[in-house]
Amino acid sequence: MKFSTIFVALIPLVLASFTKALDNGLALTPQMGWNTWNSYGCNINENIILDAAKAIKAEGLDKFGYNYVVIDDCWQADQRDPETKVIPADPKKFPRGLKAVVDEINALGLKAGIYSSAGTMTCGHHIGSLDYEEIDAKAWAEDGFEYLKYDNCFNEGREGTSQLSRDRYFAMTNALNKTGQPMIYSLCQWGMDAVENWAPTIGNSWRISGDIYPSFNRYDDRCPCEDMQNCKLPGFHCSVAKILEFAAPLGQKAYPGAWNDLDMLEVGNKGMTRDEQIVHFTMWSMVKSPLIMGNVVTAMTNQTRAILTNKHVIDISQDVASSPAIRLWKRKVEDSGGDGNVQLWKSSLSNGTYAVAVINFSNKEQKVKVSFEDVFLDEYLSEGDHGDRAWDAYDLWQGVDFETYSAETRELQPLEGGPFKEELPELTIRPHALKVFKMAPEGTKGLGTSPEELERRSLEEKRLVMMGRAKEWQEKREERRRDTKGL
Ligand SMILES: *[C@@H]1O[C@H](CO)[C@@H](O)[C@H](O)[C@H]1NC(C)=O
Ligand SMILES: *[C@@H]1O[C@H](CO)[C@@H](O)[C@H](O)[C@H]1NC(C)=O
Ligand SMILES: *[C@@H]1O[C@H](CO)[C@@H](O)[C@H](O)[C@H]1NC(C)=O
Ligand SMILES: *[C@@H]1O[C@H](CO)[C@@H](O)[C@H](O)[C@H]1NC(C)=O
């Protein structure tokens, strides 16, 4: 028995957690909450925001982790205060100012977030924070905000190299720190200038692409880049499939306190089927993107509730020991005129368990075999025998009732025919749908084995070895004694 191999598999994450992140102690798991933009754009005011906060509370969404209420663009008045230079809130939208709104959000047990741009104007053509970082950060801290989403519009050309972009965003890191108020710092720099190389030490999350739109995989010229490494125009109207494609290689850059941001959720908005929304939500959890709802939370359908509160999927996102999922393969499949493919992804979870997702990006049903040789390639390379072991598998969407929502957590049932060796049973996956399984070593009821238990077993193993050696030594000594006597 080689319990040590389980530790080997966890090493990348353990090492990563010693890497220095932005030292504000926040977002140790990906942040969760709600943001105004996807549903309301610029049409916001204090009632919309407070009604949403109350709905989050009434629906119990905060219990699932959704606890930041973020005010996106278009909250600003037209001019800075001539004396203090602070950006006042638009008096028509926020007649009582921002602090009154933050206080009410806090009174509900939720936290408040705000938005600005590292430019002279925001994307909605309001006043930006470039070169006013300290004044603005101080004003937000005084209002009680605990989260900043910081956009990239109208940056006056101070981009194009990592240094230029980093300097601009680092000015806000310092300004936020100087306020003394811990605030999640969410960079919205659209994945340019190799943001994943410099953002992890200055922010809690960084956008990796242009803006999402509620489409599963439709191409749109406004999101023109095919790869983000050399992208000069990230744009907007990027589909779920496209953003996931950008995210595939980037998991290696994330760690506790520093996450790739695939943009806000479109679950519950017009434009995607139920299956497509499930792929979107599951994969954002698997790659450990922040989970920021973007729907009208005051008018949720049972289906939307059921998707956003699948505890077993949220557990993947919020598992303190889990690392962002990696894509193990992507295979082209027959498609009617499309760019159809099927993908296999895996995330390592705590206690030596795993989440494995198979996505059908084609517009035809697909039959897929998942071999453990593929799933456990990394473990095999580091001497693990995971591929030869027997695994229980739990389908994380099985039994979800989308019609009559119930907030009670479903007990997961192990997939029939298990435990499985060598491969999972052949999966049939509808077009634009996914299957996701938690995999746990046979007989562990889906929980795996905790590090404490592994430590105990490893000590026990060492003790047995030592006892074996002691016995051997004693026997040898007896033998020598007999030999000596015999002489
Ligand atoms: C400011 O930075 C210091 C050093 O990195 C850190 O210890 C401290 O927690 C930070 N404070 C805030 C409010 O983020
Ligand atoms: C994807 O779904 C289509 C249609 O449901 C199906 O024909 C196809 O076999 C599926 N592909 C995979 C690889 O599962
Ligand atoms: C939503 O679920 C509730 C039960 O939780 C049920 O009473 C209600 O009829 C459902 N709504 C719809 C539109 O089916
Ligand atoms: C890890 O194992 C412990 C005890 O065996 C259990 O209580 C815990 O829920 C497990 N964690 C996960 C994420 O399964």
Nearest-atom number in ligand 3 for the CA of 406 is 5
> Residue whose CA is closest, atom 11 of ligand 4?
447
CB count in 10 Å sphere of residue 89: 22
* pLDDT confidence of residue 328: 97
Q: Is 405 in the pocket of ligand 3 (CB under 6 A)?
A: yes
Could you give the count of Cα atoms lying within 13 Å of 154 in the half-sphere of its Cβ? Answer: 15
* pLDDT confidence of residue 298: 98
Q: Is 332 in the pocket of ligand 2 (CB under 6 A)?
A: no
Q: Where are the alpha helices (DSSP H) in 180-292?
A: 195-198, 240-247, 274-286
Task: Give the β-pairing of 147-151 and 111-117.
Answer: parallel
Cα 206 to ligand 2 centre (Å): 33
Determine the residue of 332, 339, 361, 366 to mutate for testing ligand 2's pocket, defined as the one with the most ligand atoms within 8 A of the Cβ atom: 366
Q: Is 360 in the pocket of ligand 2 (CB under 6 A)?
A: yes
Q: What is the pLDDT of residues 61-95, one digit of tens each?
A: 999 999 999 999 999 999 999 999 999 999 999 99
Q: Is 302 in the pocket of ligand 3 (CB under 6 A)?
A: yes
* pLDDT confidence of residue 1: 39
What 3-state DSSP class applies to 390?
Answer: coil
Determine the residue of 216, 344, 364, 374 to mutate for testing ligand 2's pocket, defined as the one with the most ligand atoms within 8 A of the Cβ atom: 364
CA distances from 242 to 160, 205, 219, 222, 255 (A): 23, 19, 8, 12, 23
Catalytic-labelled residue, pool 72, 73, 136, 211: 211
Q: Is residue 90 among the annotated active site residues? A: no
Q: Is residue 211 among the annotated active site residues? A: yes
Cα 167 to ligand 4 centre (Å): 42
The two most distant CA atoms of the chain are separated, in Å, by 107
- The secondary structure element, H or E, covering residue 6 is helix 4-16
Q: Is 383 in the pocket of ligand 2 (CB under 6 A)?
A: no
Cα 287 to ligand 1 centre (Å): 27
Q: Is 431 in the pocket of ligand 2 (CB under 6 A)?
A: yes
Cα 33 to ligand 3 centre (Å): 24
Catalytic-labelled residue, pool 62, 151, 193, 392: 151
> Residue whose CA is closest, atom 12 of ligand 2?
366
Domains identified in the chain and CATH numbers: 23-318 (3.20.20.70), 326-441 (2.60.40.1180)
From first to last of its 487 residues, what are the pLDDT tens digits of the chain? 344 444 444 444 444 444 566 889 999 999 999 999 999 999 999 999 999 999 999 999 999 999 999 999 999 999 999 999 999 999 999 999 999 999 999 999 999 999 999 999 999 999 999 999 999 999 999 999 999 999 999 999 999 999 999 999 999 999 999 999 999 999 999 999 999 999 999 999 999 999 999 999 999 999 999 999 889 999 999 999 999 999 999 999 999 999 999 999 999 999 999 999 999 999 999 999 999 999 999 999 999 999 999 999 999 999 999 899 999 999 988 776 667 889 999 999 999 999 999 998 888 888 899 999 999 999 999 988 999 999 999 999 999 999 988 877 788 889 999 999 999 999 998 888 999 999 999 999 999 998 898 899 999 999 998 888 888 888 888 888 877 765 5
* pLDDT confidence of residue 5: 44
> For 92, which DSSP code?
T
Beta bridge partners of 450: none
* pLDDT confidence of residue 6: 45
Nearest-atom number in ligand 4 for the CA of 450 is 2
* pLDDT confidence of residue 137: 98
Per-residue burial over 196-223, b if 16 or more Cβ lie within 10 Å, else e, is bebbbbbbbbbbbbbbbbbbbbeeeeeb
Beta bridge partners of 32: 291
